[in-house]
């Protein structure tokens, strides 16, 4: 049974500070995540000077700044990412980063990025998808804001241009996502429609939704986390803190174990309960040798280490080959 791949999404919650970025890596490692993921971009290549911030960004950042000005504060340099890769190797956790422009894809290739995460906003970006596919690497693609036809077109571009294996993540891009708009079952629709492994990129508050997604069959979970939800920045308030991240990872690992292999059988842990909880055919009263077994002198009681009550009619009408005391297990 394959483990669920858990991505601790640091994103831009480092606020442009390399030290904070390393602290986020430490927290992801302690929590037990498989990978810690950042975002690689040059703000000028990502947004125009006229681009407005999303509503949730307006609520959590300086009100008088543009999206470009906000993102410039959240950049890490290519040199920073080289340092982060080395640090992740030392901490023995996988570094991932989502590129948001073509030059950043080229840079991440120089870092030998093992997997590319395509964010929801790039699912309709043909040149971007082609560039990602041309790397030949495995792709995990979020599908927030998209319908099935848009997902289908993006998949076709990736496959036609040489992408490796592809996993699709159901996602809602609102920060935070209302529970009644999460629609986790859409993940199963993606799996059925496109015959790929699926997962869930979660932006709800708390850890319930990703745990539910794993119970439904998610193979990848992505969740934002921060060192402090009260820090300034667009994503902190909708992120988990380190303790919550660890609780989510622990819960997912427990759910993985609990799901099992699907084979219905008596398990090792409950085998000792069979004798205690099941019943056997016993003497309802004292029975003398040669007496016929009837419903008047037989009954069914615990323990279950005698003749099974499923053989009730095989026992009725036979004769006792010795004396039996009340409650004694019947033997033939």
Predicted confidence (pLDDT) per residue in 30-50, tens digit: 999 999 999 999 888 888 888
Instruction: Using pLDDT thresholds of 50, 70 and 90, give the confidence band for residue 208.
Output: very high
> Is residue 290 scored above 60 in pLDDT?
yes
CATH 3.90.1210.10 in the chain, residue ranges: 266-332
**31, 242 Cβ separation under 8 angstroms:** yes
Yes or no: say if 247 and 1 are a contact pair by the CB < 8 Å rule. no
| CATH class for the region spanning 266-332 | alpha beta
Per-residue pLDDT, 240: 97
Round to whole Å and give the CA distance between 93 and 21.
Answer: 14
Which whole number is the average pLDDT over 106-124?
Answer: 97
Please give the average per-residue pLDDT across 248-257, as a whole number. 96
- Interval 242-262 mean pLDDT: 96
Average pLDDT over residues 197-226: 98
The confidence score (pLDDT) of residue 301 equals 98
**Higher per-residue pLDDT: 70 or 77:** 77
289 with 323: CB under 8 angstroms? yes
Q: How far apart are CA 124 and CA 284, in angstroms?
A: 76
Q: What would the pLDDT profile of 217-236 be if each residue is shown by its tens digit?
A: 999 999 999 999 999 888 89
Mean of pLDDT over the chain = 95
- Which of the following CATH numbers is that of domain 5-259: 3.30.160.270, 3.20.20.70, 3.30.450.40, 1.20.120.530? 3.20.20.70
Cα–Cα separations (whole angstroms), residue 41 to 101, 103, 105, 232, 329: 6, 8, 9, 20, 76
List residues bridging with 96 in a β-sheet: 37
At residue 1 the predicted structure's pLDDT band, cuts being 50, 70 and 90, is very low
- Residue 277, helix vs strand vs coil: helix
């Amino acid at each position: 049974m394959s483990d669920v791949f858990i991505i601790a999404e640091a994103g831009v919650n480092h606020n442009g500070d390399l030290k904070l970025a390393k602290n986020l890596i430490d927290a992801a490692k302690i929590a037990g995540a498989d990978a810690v993921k950042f975002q690689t971009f040059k703000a000028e290549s990502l947004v125009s000077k006229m681009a407005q911030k999303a509503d949730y960004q307006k609520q959590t950042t300086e009100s008088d700044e543009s999206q470009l000005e906000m993102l410039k504060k959240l950049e890490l340099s290519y040199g920073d990412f080289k340092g982060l890769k080395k640090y992740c190797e030392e901490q023995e956790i996988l570094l991932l980063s989502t590129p948001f422009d073509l030059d950043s894809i080229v840079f991440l290739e120089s870092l030998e990025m093992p997997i590319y995460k395509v964010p929801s906003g790039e699912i309709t970006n043909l040149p971007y998808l082609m560039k990602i596919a041309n790397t030949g690497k495995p792709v995990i693609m979020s599908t927030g804001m998209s319908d099935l036809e848009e997902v289908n077109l993006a998949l076709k571009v990736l496959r036609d241009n040489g992408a490796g294996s592809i996993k699709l993540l159901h996602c809602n891009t609102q920060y935070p996502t209302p529970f009644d708009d999460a629609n986790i079952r859409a993940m199963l629709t993606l799996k059925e429609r496109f015959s790929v492994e699926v997962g869930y990129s979660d932006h709800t508050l708390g850890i319930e939704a990703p745990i539910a997604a794993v119970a439904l069959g998610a193979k990848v979970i992505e969740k934002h986390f921060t060192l402090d939800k009260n820090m300034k920045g667009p994503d902190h308030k909708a992120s988990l803190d380190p303790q919550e991240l660890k609780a989510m990872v622990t819960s997912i690992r427990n759910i993985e174990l609990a799901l099992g292999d699907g084979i219905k059988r008596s398990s090792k842990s409950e085998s000792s309960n069979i004798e205690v909880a099941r019943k056997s055919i016993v003497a309802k009263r004292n029975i003398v040798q040669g007496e016929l077994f009837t419903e008047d002198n037989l009954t069914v009681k615990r323990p279950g280490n005698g003749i099974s009550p499923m053989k009730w009619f095989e026992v009725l009408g036979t004769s006792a080959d010795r004396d039996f005391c009340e409650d004694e297990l019947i033997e033939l």
